Amino acid sequence: MFQKRREQLVSRMQQQSIDVAVLVPGSNMYYFTGLQLKQSERLTVVAITAHHQLYFLVPQVELTKVDLGNGGTILSYSDEEGPSQAIQQLKKELGTAQTLAVEFDTMRVKEQKAIENLTYDTLCDIGETIRDIRMEKDEHEIALMRQAVQIVEESLAATLPIIQAGISEMEVAAQLEYEMRRRGSEGTPFGTIVASGYRGALPHGRASTKKIETGELIVIDFGAIYKGYVADMTRTVALGEVSPTLKTIYSIVKQANETAIAAIKPGMTAHAIDDLARDIIRDAGYGNTFTHRLGHGIGLSAHEEPYMMQRNQLVLKPGMAFTVEPGIYVQDVGGVRIEDNLIVTEDGYENLMTYSKELIIL
């Protein structure tokens, strides 16, 4: 699998006359090599050449995580000696590269300083090429995303019964994260959002010490990670009966969500899907309260291509995975967001989520 992905990357590199691509720890390194690390004080890079060579420059403490089953050469170093000698080895292996490509979005100054020791004429960004490759998910990736979705849906169902007047948003978030962990989640891809009452008007209202009260809507936006792949879910629930205004807002957002999803198919553009949801909210008189894009891509990252937003002319293709999450946020009143995870299929879409979108009253 990883070798096949590298072949795709090498083919693009050859088309663009790129001699070497250097990747840093993160989702791209994992996608092409299987090495799953986070950036730390210890230098780690992977070099992939246009001649299909693969080099891992890693600290000795991480050697057991490197799988050479699909080829590759390890250049390691101890904490005591540092990476200088390993970098010189890599320089010798690579020789002179006319064009060297790196990840402008994620490379730190630390890694940049290290590659300055390599010999090359031109430096360019490999990010756009990689984003394009990763945008269309294969069946293996989709299967892992289905598992991640199952984790978030089951965890929400297990958490809702604890919500009652007087419980804090943080307590709800903690229970939710516990439920995801016990079902196999490797962690959370972003800070869990539990925003009740007036705090629901904050699109990114991280869980706080606020106590939840009867008659409030509660926006719950959270995610799980299963074998590297992300599920991102939002449901808005009510504690007791809520006002007619809040019920109306909920029905508008639900209609916007369902209308946008129903139109998903190959050939549609990202902005056209966004427009469908945005028009419903605007026509209902709440246009200025929908303050973010309709959705974002999901996969190894919580936010990646494609972005479902105004002016994005990207044409949808089978395998693309993204969220649809319209929202209305009224200051001092509350907010509603409903989010599903979608896959574009050959003739339409698959909604990975099955959780009810009817207003749940606790």
All residues at 6 or more sequence positions from 86 whose CB lies less than 8 Å from its CB, including other chains: 57, 75, 76, 77
Whether residues 72 and 149 share a domain: the answer is no
What is the extent of the structural domain holding 86? 2-134
Alpha-carbon span 141 to 228, nearest angstrom: 10
- Assign residue 160 the CATH number of its domain: 3.90.230.10
Q: What is the pLDDT of residue 71?
A: 87
Q: What is the pLDDT of residue 145?
A: 98
Q: What is the pLDDT of residue 131?
A: 97
**What are the tens digits of pLDDT across the range 64-80?**
999 998 789 999 999 99
Whether residues 160 and 285 share a domain: the answer is yes
Whether residues 35 and 130 share a domain: the answer is yes
Whether residues 327 and 231 share a domain: the answer is yes
**What are the tens digits of pLDDT across the range 89-148?**
999 999 999 999 999 999 999 999 999 999 999 999 999 999 999 999 999 999 999 999
Q: What is the pLDDT of residue 70?
A: 78
User: What single letter denotes the amino acid at residue 213?
Assistant: E
**What are the tens digits of pLDDT across the range 144-192?**
999 999 999 999 999 999 999 999 999 999 999 999 999 999 999 999 9
Whether residues 154 and 261 share a domain: the answer is yes
Instruction: For residue 62, name the pLDDT band (cuts at 50, 70, 90).
Output: very high
What average pLDDT does range 198-202 have in this prediction? Answer: 98
Alpha-carbon span 311 to 331, nearest angstrom: 27
DSSP string for 161-208? GG--TT-BHHHHHHHHHHHHHHTT----SSPPEEEEGGGGG-TT-B--
DSSP 292: S
pLDDT at 40 over 90: yes
Whether residues 98 and 141 share a domain: the answer is no
Q: What is the pLDDT of residue 220?
A: 98
Q: What is the pLDDT of residue 69?
A: 87
User: Which of 100, 134, 168 finishes a domain?
Assistant: 134
> For the chain, what percentages of helix, strand and coil (3-state, to nearest 5) are there?
35, 25, 35
Whether residues 7 and 108 share a domain: the answer is yes
Q: What is the pLDDT of residue 104?
A: 97
Q: What is the pLDDT of residue 244?
A: 97
Q: What is the pLDDT of residue 75?
A: 97
Whether residues 341 and 356 share a domain: the answer is yes
Domain count, the chain: 2
Token pair of 187 as six digits: 């962690």
The CA-atom distances, in angstroms, between 112 and each of 21, 52, 62 are 13, 23, 21
What average pLDDT does range 208-234 have in this prediction? Answer: 98
Whether residues 223 and 247 share a domain: the answer is yes
Mean pLDDT for the chain overall: 97
pLDDT-above-70 percentage for the chain: 100
